[in-house]
Amino acid sequence: MEGIEGHMKNNLFQLIKPGNGNNQVICFPYLGGNVYAYNQFANSLHDDVEVWAVNPPGHGGDTNALIADIHTLLDLYFEQLITIIKPQAILFGHSMGGIIAYLLAQKLHNTRDYDLAQMKLVLSACNPPNEYEMNKYTSLTNDKLIEHLISYGGVPEELIHEKNILEFLLPTIRADYGVLETASTLEIQPIRIPTYYFWGENDSIVPVDSITSWLSYFDNELQVIPIENGSHMFISAHADVVAHQMEQIIFREEQ
C-alpha cells in the first residue's frame, strides 16, 4: 500500500473539459497513452458534457513509478474515481482503457454504493481481458515489441524510424502489457450496466468476434456502434465521429 499512498499525492484524473450540466464522461487511455489522448475527442463534444481523463502513473509527464499490476492500478484509480464520479457517469475506454473501465465498473458494483443502471459503459476497439492470458508481450525483445506496436498503428508515423525514441517509450509499454496480462487472471463476475461497443470496421487487431467474447462479462446485451473506415486507432483518426456517437448515447434519453 505504500506505493499507492505515494501515487495518491497526484491527481491522476484530470478535468480536460468542463461541462454545463450533469453529463459526465470519464476516459481511460489506450496502451501507452495518457491524458492527452482524449483532447480532440473532448473538444468535439457538446458544451454540456464534462470530460475527465486519467493520466496513468509514469505516463504523459507523470513522475510516479510505472505500475505493471492490475490490482495496484485498480485500487489507485478507484480511490480517486469515487471522488469525482457523478450518478449518471459514462466510463469510456479505448483498447486497453476499455478493460480498465470495465473492471472499475465491476469494482463499483461490488461496493454496492453505486447504481450501475444509471451509468453507462462504452468499450472502444477493445478485446476482453482473457485475450491477454496467452499473449505474453512483456517477454518480447525490444525489436519484436516495436514491430508489434507498429503493426496495429500504435506508433505515430513520424516515429516509426526513430528507434532511440521508441526504445525510450518501451518501459511504459511493457508496464501496460503487464497490467493487461495480470488482468487476464482476474475472476470475472458478470455485471449489469448499459453498455455500448465502438467497433472499427477496418480494425485488424480487434476482430468483430471480440464482441461475442465480451458477452460473458455482462448480464445484459451490448449495443454495437460501427465506426466506418475505422482502423484500431480510430479514437485519434476519427475523434469527431467518436464524439458524435458519444453524444447520441448521452442525449438519447432526452430526445
pLDDT tens-digit readout, 33-79: 999 999 999 999 999 999 999 999 999 888 899 999 999 999 999 99
Collapsing DSSP to helix, strand or coil, 52 comes out as strand
Section 147-170 average pLDDT: 68
Please report the pLDDT score of residue 57 as a whole number: 96
- pLDDT at residue number 156: 60
Q: What is the separation, in whole angstroms, between the first and last Cα of the chain?
A: 46
Give the mean model confidence (pLDDT) for residues 21-26.
93
Kindly report, residue by residue over 77-116, the tens digit of the pLDDT: 999 999 999 999 999 999 999 999 999 999 999 998 899 9
pTM score of the predicted model: 0.90
What would the pLDDT profile of 103-149 be if each residue is shown by its tens digit? 999 999 999 889 999 999 999 999 999 888 767 778 778 778 777 77
Q: Which three cell numbers stand for residue 179?
A: 497490467
Enumerate domains of the chain plus CATH numbers: 2-254 (3.40.50.1820)
Residue 13 host element (H or E): strand 13-17
pLDDT one-digit tens code per residue, 169-208: 888 889 999 999 999 999 989 999 999 999 999 998 888 8
C-alpha cell at 126: 477493445
Q: How confident is the model at residue 7 (pLDDT cuts 50, 70, 90)?
A: very low
Tabulate helix, strand, coil % of the chain (nearest 5): 45, 15, 40
Positive or negative torsion for Cα 150, 151, 156, 160? positive
Which H/E stretch holds residue 143?
helix 142-151
Strand, helix or coil for residue 8: coil
Phi-psi region of 60 (alpha: psi -120 to 50; beta: other; left: phi over 0): left
- Grid cell digits, residue 36: 492527452
* Location of C-alpha cell 479505448: 94
8 Å CB contact between 41 and 103: no
Query: For residues 126 and 67, what is the distance between their CA atoms, to the nearest angstrom?
Result: 20
The Cβ of residue 175 has, within 10 Å, a number of other Cβ atoms equal to 22
